[in-house]
Structure 1
Amino acid sequence: MKGVLLVNLGSPESPTPKDVKPYLDEFLMDERVIDVPKVLRNIIVRGIILQSRPKKSAKAYSKIWWDEGSPLIVISERFKDKVQKKTKMPVALGMRYGKMSIKKGFEELRSKGVDEVLLVPLYPHYAMSSYETVVVKAMEDREKYFPDMKITTLPPFYKNVNYLKVLSKSIAEGLAGFDYDHVLFSYHGIPERHIRKSDPTKYHCKIDGSCCSINSIAHHTCYRHQCYFTTEAVRNILGLSEDQVSTSFQSRLAGDPWLKPYTDYEFERFPKMGKTKLAVITPAFVSDCLETLEEIAMEGKEEFLEAGGKSYKHIACLNDRDDWVQVMSQWIEDWEVHNMLPA
């Protein structure tokens, strides 16, 4: 029997330092998030970051927390429920980090007789610290706890035509009625070394844009290329000019260089260029979360206005939009009936 496991990032149980700390520990101790030797990772995470970050992060979470709970969890559950109504197959939800684990998602499906699973990492783009870590964790859990379960993984869908149409429509609706002079596509940042590590050729990726126009197998796992592809595809669908749109990367850690340009630097730079009416979209996420609701919608707005901006709008993620649900449901049906995955 076939079933579907949707997997998103995860969340602390509550916006308190007590619950944020173990969540951050699991997240930051992931070798695909902070990819240094475990001894050094222990020192960085448990000896330095976790000494102060939980309190700061808990404050940030408390600013965006809903009565129903974590926005990411609530939105993901709403999305799962809507998808479930459109398919006869069991659909479960798991999180890469936190108590709503991937293992629990597999257990739920197995209890319903499922022995063949479509694993759906809810990330449009490939990155070690998002898509890859979900797939690796799922395979580890399958090998350890569910050896007889067959798993098929949905590929990154950043260039799927139907996904791009829905994303573009959501942005167009967000822009309607808003007097803007620039649209910023802000993607979650990753260290530059992750791009090189993910390059199967070990020589293609230059991280300067020159390699993105050269067709290569490296593009299948190049987060930077995929982000710029998404921006350009949406720009063309919406008929926006090149100078109206740009790409940036947010949420970096101190230390090694991360993908540039940095979103917070762009917030400071735009008003000086005369771009004072800004709309921001965060397409690395399909569900609104801390990084979109607090970092971009709240902190980003404050930074932009303080730098001289006049108006600012954060455009919501796809969340549980009916057209997004329909696209996902169609992918699931294509897999169920024809064993086809989106291209």
Structure 2
Amino acid sequence: MYVQQHFGKQGILLVNLGTPDAPTPRAVNRYLGEFLTDPRVIDNLPGLAQQVLVRGIIAPIRSGIVNPFKPGGSTKLYQELWTENGSPLKYYGEILTAAVTERLGDEYVVRLAMRYQQPSIESAVRELIAEGVSSITVFPLFPQYASATTGSVHQEVMRVLSKEQTIPNVHLVNSYYEHPLLIKVFADNARDVGPLSQWDHIIFSYHGLPQRQLKKADNSGCHCYKVEGCCNRIGQVNQFCYSAQCHATTRAIVAELGLPEGSYTTSFQSRLGFDDWAKPYTIDVLEDLAKNKGAKKLLCFSPAFVADCLETTIEIGVEYQEEFEAWGGEHIQLVPSLNDDPRWIDAVVGMLTERMGEKVLTEGQ
């Protein structure tokens, strides 16, 4: 079998969504302005209208830039999230990058990038090119594929590389939503919390997407929201459907934990605007469980996220907890994010080396 020789090191680009540089109105305004003007994120407005709406209205109001002495809603949330180490998303990304670098050794160059803000994809790719790497493996830190996340990362990487005279071998990782290494980490984190029998119900809460974006991923035009149980299995027509991949992640974790049917629900959070988003909404599920089912104690997975962020720490851990208590519930236990868990680092190293056709021993081997 022919194996192409590598004359330089192999590059790895770990990419997460992004975070403001600081929990201040100006920094949050910059972040929201870049994030919300991505046409893959807000995909139903012409470019100029999107720029005017986001940069002239949405970002200034949500960040509080119009009145720096009275932070907007988004800035307040980031101030709650911020730690002594800064943004958890970036902090844990840096730890992951350093650990993967150490484990893979001198033949690899690993860089962290954020799709929005710093460190940018452009700066990280330029560093890899400057190192003379013979290949770049792009590994988005999103287990499930969505145009607004992984798709946007891949597009930006290709935009940056298109400016280069010579382009190294490029491998774009699409998703790993039911990879056994990932699934086991989520399952083990749940086991670490305590016996699963103590919970009245288990929720798998994923970041939501507008239904129009889910339908766009259906190139056949005859499956998404047109076939009953369209997300119940992965096939050719829905292989890139975010919702279908989320349901597949749930099924894999459920199988690993041996959860009985009826003891869990897959739902979606973080809805914005008035359009229909992926359903059911997590907040509606919580209300039903508390008011109609008498649930008091819930266990909640967030398998779309690999590090602490607004959607886990604040939205579920604070906002949903308050709503649940108001409806008669007692406690929502969030399954810890993967963060800097050695098992997560093992999983990333394993998935990377598997895709590059090599094997690197984990710490436990």
Deviation at 1:110, TM superposition (A): 2.3
Matched with 2:5 is none
SS at match of 2:237: helix
Matched with 2:297 is 277
The answer to whether the aligner puts 1:35 opposite 2:54 as a matched pair is: no
Give distance in 1, aligned partners of 2:199 and 2:96: 30
Greater shift after overlay, 4-13 or 328-337? 328-337
Q: Which amino acid aligns with 2:61?
A: S
- Structure-2 change in CA distance of 1:81 and 1:215 (3 Å): closer
Q: 2:193 aligns with which of 174, 180, 190?
A: 174
- Structure-2 change in CA distance of 1:34 and 1:322 (3 Å): same
Q: Does the aligned pair in 2 maintain the 1:118–1:151 contact within 8 Å?
A: yes
Q: Does the aligned pair in 2 maintain the 1:204–1:211 contact within 8 Å?
A: yes
- Structure-2 change in CA distance of 1:131 and 1:146 (3 Å): farther
Matched with 1:318 is 338
Deviation at 1:168, TM superposition (A): 1.3
Give distance in 2, aligned partners of 1:188 and 1:110: 33
Q: 2:353 aligns with which of 320, 330, 333?
A: 333
Give distance in 2, aligned partners of 1:268 and 1:212: 24
State the TM-score, normalizing by the size of structure 1. Answer: 0.93
Deviation at 1:311, TM superposition (A): 2.0
SS at match of 2:162: helix
The answer to whether the aligner puts 1:60 opposite 2:92 as a matched pair is: no
- Greater share of helix residues, 1 or 2? 1
Instruction: Report 1 or 2 for greater relative contact order, CA contacts < 8 Å, sequence distance ≥ 6.
Output: 1
Deviation at 1:214, TM superposition (A): 6.0
Q: Does the aligned pair in 2 maintain the 1:301–1:312 contact within 8 Å?
A: yes
Matched with 1:241 is 260
Structure of higher CA gyration radius: 2
Give distance in 1, aligned partners of 2:233 and 2:83: 45
Deviation at 1:108, TM superposition (A): 2.1
Matched with 2:208 is 189
Percent sequence identity over matched residues? 37
Give distance in 2, aligned partners of 1:99 and 1:279: 33
Give distance in 2, aligned partners of 1:64 and 1:338: 38
Q: Which amino acid aligns with 1:241?
A: P
Q: 2:94 aligns with which of 74, 77, 86?
A: 77
Greater shift after overlay, 329-338 or 196-205? 329-338
Matched with 1:20 is 28
Deviation at 1:221, TM superposition (A): 0.9
Note the 1:134-283 alignment, pairs <5 A.
134-145=153-164, 147-176=166-195, 179-206=198-225, 209-213=228-232, 216-272=235-291, 273-283=293-303
Give distance in 1, aligned partners of 2:196 and 2:230: 38
Q: Does the aligned pair in 2 maintain the 1:195–1:223 contact within 8 Å?
A: yes
- Structure-2 change in CA distance of 1:284 and 1:329 (3 Å): same
Give distance in 2, aligned partners of 1:302 and 1:111: 50
- Structure-2 change in CA distance of 1:140 and 1:170 (3 Å): same
Deviation at 1:147, TM superposition (A): 4.3
Structure 2 residue ranges without an equivalent (≥5): 1-7, 64-71, 360-365
State the TM-score, normalizing by the size of structure 2. Answer: 0.88
Give distance in 1, aligned partners of 2:226 and 2:115: 28
Give distance in 2, aligned partners of 1:214 and 1:285: 22
The answer to whether the aligner puts 1:99 opposite 2:118 as a matched pair is: yes
The answer to whether the aligner puts 1:132 opposite 2:141 as a matched pair is: no
Give distance in 1, aligned partners of 2:253 and 2:279: 20
Deviations 1:170-221 (A, max 9, x none): 2222344883111111100000011111112222212775223465312221
Q: Which amino acid aligns with 1:16?
A: T
Give distance in 1, aligned partners of 2:144 and 2:36: 20
SS at match of 1:156: coil
Deviation at 1:101, TM superposition (A): 0.5
- Structure-2 change in CA distance of 1:207 and 1:158 (3 Å): farther
Give distance in 1, aligned partners of 2:233 and 2:329: 37
Q: Which amino acid aligns with 2:28?
A: V
Q: Does the aligned pair in 2 maintain the 1:175–1:279 contact within 8 Å?
A: no
Deviations 1:225-250 (A, max 9, x none): 11111112211211112221101111
Give distance in 1, aligned partners of 2:280 and 2:196: 28
Give distance in 2, aligned partners of 1:207 and 1:25: 35
Deviations 1:129-184 (A, max 9, x none): 11111111111111124742321012300121222122211222234488311111
Give distance in 1, aligned partners of 2:226 and 2:177: 19
Matched with 1:46 is 55
Q: Does the aligned pair in 1 maintain the 2:217–2:238 contact within 8 Å?
A: no
Q: Does the aligned pair in 2 maintain the 1:192–1:207 contact within 8 Å?
A: no
